[in-house]
Amino acid sequence: MNISEAAKRSGLSSKTIRYYESIGLVKVAKRSDNGYRDYSESDVEALRFLQRARATGFGIEECRQLLGLYDNEQRHSSHVKSLVLEKVEQVESQIAELQAMRNTLNTLASRCAGDEGPHCAILDELSTLGEEESNLEEGK
């Protein structure tokens, strides 16, 4: 099958598939007589695997590791599990960071009148934030 079919079935774009090939994440596709890439079912399976793994939050290099384990009959499932648990930690710290941002933003917004006038607590606080021991967090 052509690349666009493989793209549709895997949930990746054609561009992304070519990109993955170029960085050696998937093996080089075989070519038809016309020079077009030609994919088999098992190629699509690998592409799907990658699509899932990326959507689940793994980076490219982590996907490379996962694919290596996927292909390795000698693997230990503990190894795979530890990759996943490590990723959970990373994702959780990202969440915490974003939540802190959201809280700061909400506090900023709540202090701003949001009217026609030029005075704006948001701008005031963005320029001084942190100077007087962050009254933002404590809601003073």
**List of residues contacting a copy of itself (CB under 8 A):** 45, 48-49, 52-53, 55-57, 66, 69-70, 72-78, 80-82, 84-85, 87-88, 91-92, 94-95, 98-99, 101-102, 104-106, 108-109, 112-123, 126-127, 129-130
CB atoms within 10 A of CB 73: 4
Q: Which is nearer to a copy of itself, 23 or 105 (CB)?
A: 105
Q: Residues of 98-127 as b/e, b for ≥16 C-beta within 10 angstroms?
A: eeeeeeeeebbeebeeeeeeeeeeeeebee
CB of 33 to a copy of itself, least distance (A): 31
Between CA 98 and CA 137 the distance in angstroms is: 15
Residues that bind DNA (CB under 7 A): 2-5, 13-16, 18-19, 29, 33-37, 54, 59-61
CB 52 within 8 A of CB 70: no
CB of 13 to a copy of itself, least distance (A): 17
CB of 79 to a copy of itself, least distance (A): 9
Choose the contact partner of 64 out of DNA, a copy of itself, none; CB within 5 to 8 A by kind. none
Between CA 108 and CA 72 the distance in angstroms is: 52
Between CA 27 and CA 21 the distance in angstroms is: 6
Q: Which is nearer to a copy of itself, 33 or 68 (CB)?
A: 68
